[in-house]
Amino acid sequence: MHAFLLGVLVAAPLGPVGATVLRTGITRGFPPALAVGAGAITAAVLAWRRLPPGRTRTLILLALLIGGFILYRWLRDPAAAAIEAVNPAGTGYLG
């Protein structure tokens, strides 16, 4: 069942919005951002489990989570702005 759905998604035409997505480089922003977000959460969970309770663990967790969030937003925001810059009414593709 999943292979069929994947085949349908791969074979679907891109349309004007899909062409804009590929042209603007949005695909370069979201996958790295998701990887950074997942990596930050994974690092925080590992730090929580491996460090002894106390102030050091708290500061390390805060640094990991805040740093990961900042890096995630730095990678994600240009891609989100490129998506929002597409005017569906102007391209004739409303959904």
Residues 10-63 pLDDT 10s:
445 555 555 555 555 556 678 888 899 999 999 999 999 999 999 999 999 999
Cα 64 from Cα 80, distance rounded (Å): 23
Beta strands in 1-95 (DSSP E): none
Cα 75 from Cα 7, distance rounded (Å): 29
Residues 64-85 pLDDT 10s:
999 999 999 998 888 888 878 8
Q: Is the pTM of this model over 0.85?
A: no
